[in-house]
């Protein structure tokens, strides 16, 4: 008949005391790592906000250039078109937007400068975006006339 072997009682020696001292170590690790992970996550969100604001500023500059490059285009109309685009599409994605348009006989140029909103509360963090679009102006010509 097989004999029953009794389980050995847990040892309270050197290793038992060591295991008891590790209680709560996971909580401490998470308390240290969670702020770092949170900052990394918010940095990714901040980068996304910058990218979105950058694309909005470029699209607004392009909208202004499309108005300015026509034969009847003016700097005021180009600036108004760019501001209107930022108001309609941007909402609160850009702040402190400034628009500057310049026209020559051959080229139209619109520059948009704006600030991306801050997600991370870092003092002095101002993310300024500058985008410029330019295009040749349309010229009125008569068929068979000089180019």
* DSSP secondary structure letter of residue 88: I
Please check whether residue 71 lies inside any domain of the structure: yes
Mean pLDDT of all residues in 114-122: 85
Please check whether residue 2 lies inside any domain of the structure: no
Please check whether residue 14 lies inside any domain of the structure: no
Q: What is the Cα gyration radius of the chain? A: 32
Mean pLDDT of all residues in 47-69: 94
**Domain assignment of residue 61, given as a range:** 42-136
Residue 105's pLDDT is what?
Answer: 87
Please check whether residue 78 lies inside any domain of the structure: yes
| Tokens read off for 95 | 């702040």
Sheet holding 95-103: strands in order across?
95-103, 107-116, 127-136
Residue 53's pLDDT is what?
Answer: 93
pLDDT band, residue 13 (cuts 50/70/90): low
Higher pLDDT, 90 or 4: 90
CB contact at 8 A, 53 and 9: no
Q: For the chain, how many structural domains are there in total?
A: 1
Residues near 125 by beta carbon (within 8 Å), at least 6 away in sequence? 118
Residue 16's pLDDT is what?
Answer: 55
pLDDT band, residue 132 (cuts 50/70/90): very high
Rounded CA-CA distance 13/133 in Å is 75
Please check whether residue 126 lies inside any domain of the structure: yes
């Amino acid at each position: 008949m097989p004999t029953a072997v009794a389980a050995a009682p847990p040892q309270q020696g050197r290793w038992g005391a060591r295991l008891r001292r590790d209680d709560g170590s996971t909580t401490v690790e998470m308390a240290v790592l969670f702020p770092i992970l949170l900052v990394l996550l918010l940095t990714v969100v901040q980068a996304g906000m910058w990218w979105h604001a950058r694309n909005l500023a470029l699209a607004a500059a392009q909208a202004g250039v499309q108005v300015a490059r026509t034969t009847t285009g003016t700097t005021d109309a180009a600036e108004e078109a760019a501001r209107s685009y930022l108001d309609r599409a941007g909402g609160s994605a850009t702040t402190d937007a400034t628009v500057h348009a310049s026209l020559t006989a051959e080229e139209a140029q619109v520059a948009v400068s704006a600030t991306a909103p801050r997600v991370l509360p870092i003092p002095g963090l101002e993310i300024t975006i500058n985008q410029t679009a330019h295009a040749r102006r349309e010229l009125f010509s008569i068929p068979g006339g000089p180019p």
